[in-house]
Structure 1
Amino acid sequence: MTMAIDALTTLLGAAGLITNPADLSRYAADASVQGPDMPLAVLRPKTTDEASKAVAICAQAGIPMVPQGGRTGLSGGAVPPAGAVVISTERMSGVIAVNTQAMTLTAWAGTPLQVVQEAARAQGLDYPVDIGARGSATIGGTVATNAGGIRVLRHGMTRRHVLGLEIVLPDGAVLSRMRGLVKDNAGYDLCQPFIGSEGTLGLITQVMVQLCPDEPFSALALLSLRDHAAALDCLVAARSRFGDRLSAFEGMWPDYLDAVCTTWSLVPAPFATPGFAVLLELRARADAQLDGFQDWLGELMEAGLVDDGIVARSHDEERRLWALREAVGEVDAQLGPHISFDLSVAVDQLGQFCHACDRKLRGVQAAGQVIKVGHLGDGNVHILVAHDGSDASVTAISRSVYCVLREYNGSVTAEHGVGRSKRDWLTACRDPVEMIALRRQKQIWDPKSLMNPHSILDLRASNTATLIRQPHRSA
């Protein structure tokens, strides 16, 4: 171990290696949890060559490694276990190139998402993956977690936009697929396994993404509806009228609105009576493409589908309306100890699923206040459940929610990733054959289980039988 640290010190220098205990604590956490253990060291390579050599040193010494980007994850996926080093991409930052003809952008993995977006827009283009933590989340981290966000309805998850990756494998070898080919059927796609792998298969060092034309014009409305069923009818109507101009369709349940507007006063209440609210956004390349938006909303109100509505008439008003949806990022202190579920079910079943979860949680003594908010257009809901802070409460609440989820054939994570917090619940959405396939994938790329070893899967033998004995889910 000492020899490895000495070799890393020689390789990375003082700026590239942190070992002072006082400086290590911030690398022991992500946005969801503070780990119980400090990393042995934090490695901060500046180039792919440095990263490759650092990983090789750790691999030879048998030292576990945890890649880190902006530490904005919400599943504990960047929290290092005892005896591990952190490999931070914070010094591997910056946009390398923007190709306007091919509409691609290449960046170091540690580049903040917002920097990528701004570089694209400066060329009249856009990188449409967008999340609330855009200022600190890194492009490499969003690829490693296959980030979703508020415009998945229109543009899909991160996976859709990745054209190339450069990856340091767990033994230090460098896998580079940075040719920028839109069409390439020469065997297996070697980039795809690493998208959404949460740093368990390798360290992403460079990313090439496909851009799209910028759409600077927008129309935004906040609608009050009877319930989720009415919101679903509104979604169908919006798709029929506006097609791919519909870029976001965000839902806020009455319990969420009551909490953030009335109980905690985080944002002003938009309507006199809190019902089910939808934030609906259109985006276009020309203002004329948004014509008819207000007339269409009037038609919905006349038909009785929408009870009330607010249309943003300026960028400031748009920001104020979005603040209602983004207030979920400010509720941690008010809720106290809580579980933040990130769940996905089929779009047409989301309302029924949430009702079923509410009914189930009312019978769980450990469950406190419940609020729900999510991306209605893609079937992703965030259910936040308060509790007393005990492990027993966490287990009881999680078991109840994931039991309902299994009945609806959903996923334990839609966009936040599995990490450490959902690892032991993965069989709620993966059958035995899938679990075996996931384990084999890990063993192929990381046979010594050195890369982020406690995230997504626990390969310890004592866990294997439990995972495989789970019953198969019917379709």
Structure 2
Amino acid sequence: MNSLISDLIAIVGESGVLLGEDVAQRSVDWFTGAPCQAKAIVRPQTTEQLSKVMALCYQADQPVVTHGGLTGVVHGGIASPDELVVSLELMNQIEEIDAVGSTMQVQAGVTLQRVQEAAQEIDMQFPLDLGARGSCTIGGNIATNAGGIRVIRYGMMRQQVLGLEAVLSDGTVVSSLNKMLKNNAGYDVKQLFIGSEGTLGVVTRAVLRLQPYMPSEQTALVAVPSFDALTALLNLVSKELANSLSAFEALWNSHYKLMTMEGSKHAPLLSTDSPFYAIIETLGLDEEQDAEAFAQVLETAMEKELITDAVLANSSAQREGIWAVREDIEWLVRSLKPLFSFDISLPIPHMDEYVNNLEKALNEQFAESAEILVFGHLGDGNLHIMITVRDDSLQSRRQVEELVYGSLVKYNGSISAEHGVGLEKKEYLKLSRSPEEIDLMKRMKQALDPKGLLNPGKILG
């Protein structure tokens, strides 16, 4: 290993390789703060450097774990003492912006927020958005096929990528930096790497698709009397605001109450006695017309008794205040510690039954110690479930996982909606993918990474 590290330093320079305490002080898990245990962290600055790094590791049979912004929550960034980490943090340049073609070419280490801001500077937008925008990187967003709050309108990360470049385990550079919406010349190679969590190749650069900037934002937090009313409300706004609806986030009472309780940073904007709440947001071009249409839909919803109360944001500060109730995960984690976090999806009509049955099962198994919070991107079938049983032992975790994931089978749900599989969910992959699908995944892994050096043990084991 020492000889390999010397060779790596010759490629990326002294400052490009971190050792000892510089490695240990880095956390690889957002929830637990667990330190990195890798032998070294290698930080290339170019695709060429990374290609040489991977070629050396391939010759030495050296396993490699890729790091982006380290905001993942499925242990995808964990590395053992005999593994190397390749961090893309120094590959952080925005290389080209094409306002006419509506594209942006970036290196993988650029943060999502920088891409969003660069798009705004040319009166465009990059629509992917999530709470970790200031830390998560485009490479990580691609590797996990990130979702976020605007999937209902713009789709997941997969829909935002026109082309990409990746380095394979043996150092081969696969450059498919396509800038066209239409390109049916053979297989769509980029799709191999989107959502592969660094197990098939290391994404180094990407061509992103930009959208027109929408200066008009309408945001409301509403109280909803029942789950049936919640789904009816979603249908109403989807129909009446079809051309502008950008987000529909649902908050179960337990989540809203915790986030606005005494001692938190968020005062309750509505009373805390409603069983459900929703954040509804639209993006448009005409502030006056959009505001009128938005208010009319909320009035209709009130008349139909789909909502019982509402607060509309009249400024960017008020809008941020509404979204903070949804996005302040730090307060949630601190309040429920030790916490088990889940990211699942299932058909919307079954959500209420699923959550109620899960809560009942948790209470039966863990008595008074169990607490469950639910919120999520209702419009795209994605729920985030936070559970504490006041015990973070491996036995308790396994019991909770069996309840959460096992209950999804009857609804044909997914164990992962947008966070990936990593180490945390790989043994449950069989609940959401058929044996034939898993076999095909293994054959793809064998073809692109025959020595099993890329993110070993993740997804498939």
> Counterpart of 2:183?
184
Q: TM-score normalised to the size of structure 1?
A: 0.93
Q: 1:386 aligns with which of 385, 388, 403?
A: 388
Kept after mapping to 2: 8 A contact 1:35/1:81: no
> Counterpart of 1:468?
none
* Partner AA of 1:360 in structure 2: A
Kept after mapping to 1: 8 A contact 2:165/2:176: yes
Deviation at 1:11, TM superposition (A): 1.1
> Counterpart of 2:57?
58
> Counterpart of 1:467?
none
* CA–CA distance in structure 2, aligned partners of residues 450 and 32 of structure 1: 26
> Counterpart of 2:220?
221
> Counterpart of 2:266?
267
> Counterpart of 1:94?
93
> Counterpart of 1:370?
372
* Partner AA of 1:356 in structure 2: N
Kept after mapping to 2: 8 A contact 1:267/1:327: no
Deviation at 1:87, TM superposition (A): 0.4
> Counterpart of 1:473?
none
Q: 1:413 aligns with which of 408, 411, 416?
A: 416
Kept after mapping to 1: 8 A contact 2:376/2:384: yes
1:427 aligns with 2:426: no
Kept after mapping to 2: 8 A contact 1:116/1:127: yes
* CA–CA distance in structure 2, aligned partners of residues 154 and 292 of structure 1: 18
The C-alpha deviation readout for 1:304-347, integer Å capped at 9, x for no partner, is: 11111111111111111111111334211211111100010112
Question: 1:265 and 1:2, CA in 2 relative to 1: closer, same or farther beyond 3 A?
Answer: closer
Q: Which moved more, 1:116-125 or 1:257-266?
A: 257-266
Deviation at 1:35, TM superposition (A): 5.1
1:79 aligns with 2:82: no
Deviation at 1:5, TM superposition (A): 1.4
* Partner AA of 2:218 in structure 1: A
Figure out how many residues of one structure are paired with residues of the other and give that number. Answer: 457
1:287 aligns with 2:260: no
Kept after mapping to 1: 8 A contact 2:38/2:85: yes
* Partner AA of 1:108 in structure 2: Q
> Counterpart of 2:207?
208
Kept after mapping to 1: 8 A contact 2:370/2:387: yes
1:24-423 → structure 2 map (5 Å cutoff): 24-27=23-26, 29-34=28-33, 38-262=37-261, 265-275=264-274, 276-290=276-290, 291-365=292-366, 368-387=370-389, 388-423=391-426
> Counterpart of 1:457?
460
Deviation at 1:81, TM superposition (A): 2.6
SS where residue 282 of structure 1 aligns? strand
* Partner AA of 1:412 in structure 2: I
What is the CA RMSD across the aligned residues, in angstroms? 1.5
Q: Identity of paired residues, percent? A: 37
* CA–CA distance in structure 2, aligned partners of residues 194 and 331 of structure 1: 32
Which runs of no fewer than 5 residues in structure 2 stay unpaired? Answer: none
Which runs of no fewer than 5 residues in structure 1 stay unpaired? Answer: 459-475
> Counterpart of 1:13?
13
> Counterpart of 1:463?
none
The C-alpha deviation readout for 1:353-404, integer Å capped at 9, x for no partner, is: 2222222222222762111111111111111111301110000010111110
* CA–CA distance in structure 2, aligned partners of residues 60 and 430 of structure 1: 34
* Partner AA of 1:368 in structure 2: A
* CA–CA distance in structure 2, aligned partners of residues 297 and 285 of structure 1: 19
* CA–CA distance in structure 1, aligned partners of residues 257 and 297 of structure 2: 28
SS where residue 331 of structure 1 aligns? helix
SS where residue 292 of structure 1 aligns? helix
Q: Which moved more, 1:294-303 or 1:94-103?
A: 294-303
